[in-house]
Amino acid sequence: MSDSPIPPDPSPAPSLGILYLVATPIGNLEDITFRAIRMLKEADLIAAEDTRHTGKLLHHFQIGTPQISYHEHNAQTRIPQLMEKLRAGQTIALVSDAGMPGISDPGYGLVCACAEAGIVVSPIPGPAAVVSAIAASALPSDRFTFEGFLPVKGKVRTERLTQLATEPRTMVLYESPHRLLKTLGDLQTHLGGERPVTIARELTKRYEEFWRGTVRGAIEHFTVTEPRGEFTVAIAGYTTTPQTISEADLRQQLETLITQGLSPSNASRQLAQKTGLSKREIYQLSLTLQQEDK
């Protein structure tokens, strides 16, 4: 049998252009695909999250295609401009600073506009931090959920963490170095200190590192070792099997939840769901704590 021919790229509707979503390396430049390089060369225009950052990639591969900035701060004004070019038949390659555009970045808005206008959107697959992290996490990967960046603060963040406490699938989220410890602390409060995690740092880069253990262990590690670089955190899903948890840890989590405004009953219910322990026993402990505070 002869080898199957390489399928052609999609054809646009008459007079319309194509938006290509071009995945770029998340660290190591060797991870770019031949097709991605070709599309970046053949496109009429590259819409880049950071033209200076993408400029280094283009220089490395000797690509001279002109760029235009497209990021969260100018998306509302850029989308009409880019749509006009696409309607005029131009081909645009959309890239983010790293990985697949449209995933946790403003590319989503442009994709929606193209879909509504009947303009072809074609993904050029490649590196993605979420897939790389889950594959090497040693946590269940047959089903997982991507959470991107958690809400930074306030009620929205608390509600999201409360929802994740009983999520049965492995969870993957992104975090910056200066917020990593805060997020780990919140995970300990809402998911428990014994929840298994894998923390990937600087994926595909020179100092790539995987740390595996529990949320509590991660807090201890990154309290001593200053967080540096970009992090992808994989968290084991909720299981109904009761966790091994010390009374001191249970007390600490109860106190934290009650301080945040939850009633002893609601705090006990949340911890029971998270740990698989008896709500009645946890509630009795909360009453003991209240008596000790008097």
Task: Identify which of 236, 240, 227 has the alpha carbon closest to the alpha carbon of residue 275.
Answer: 240
pTM over 0.85: no
pLDDT at 158: 92
Q: What is the pLDDT of residues 54-73, one digit of tens each?
A: 999 999 999 999 999 999 99
- The residues of the chain scoring below 70 in pLDDT are 1-4, 11-14, 241-244, 276, 293-294
The torsion angles phi and psi of 90, rounded to 5 degrees, stand at -80, 150
Place of tokens 């050029």: 124
pLDDT at 257: 86
Helices 75-87 and 107-117, axial angle in degrees (round to 10)? 40
pLDDT at 287: 85
Q: What is the pLDDT of residues 178-215, one digit of tens each?
A: 999 999 999 998 998 889 999 999 999 999 999 999 99
Q: Alpha-carbon distance 173 to 192, whole Å?
A: 17
